[in-house]
Amino acid sequence: MLESDISFGAGALTANFRLDQQPIKDTGRTKLGAIIGSGSRIGVNASLMPGVKIGAQSFVGPGAVLSQDLADHQACFTQLPLKITRNEFEG
């Protein structure tokens, strides 16, 4: 379920089926995509697990895997330590 003025980055996904076939969050359903509030932004390559609710004006950062609800006006990011090294594969 999508409200208005939502942006999805390239490669962003919303899953709708639990592989363990358990019901999705008190809905009794085994299939249910994300519910996304108006004005929300989903970053590049973000993944939204089945039944996740994202509040209005919220932001899911690039590469995040969101498996829990996100309230209105909240943001979530995946934090990975970035490692920069010399390119050993030069020709």
**pLDDT score of 8:** 94
Token reading at 32:
């249910």
**Residue 90: pLDDT band by 50, 70, 90 thresholds?**
low
Q: What local confidence, expressed as pLDDT, does residue 80 receive? A: 76
Domain extent listing, the chain? 1-70
Reduced to 3 states (helix: H, G, I; strand: E, B; else coil), residue 53 is strand
Q: Using CB atoms within 10 Å of the CB of residue 66, give its burial: 0 to 12 exposed, 13 to 18 middle, 19+ buried.
A: buried
pTM listed for this prediction: 0.81
**pLDDT for position 89:** 73
Q: Is the per-residue pLDDT at 84 higher than 80? A: no
Residue type, 31: K
- Report strand pairing: 53-54 vs 75-76: unpaired
According to CATH, the superfamily of the domain at 1-70 is Hexapeptide repeat proteins (2.160.10.10)
Tokens of 23: 């019901």
Three-class SS of residue 60? strand
pLDDT level of residue 87 (50, 70, 90 thresholds):
confident
* pLDDT, average across residues 70-89: 84
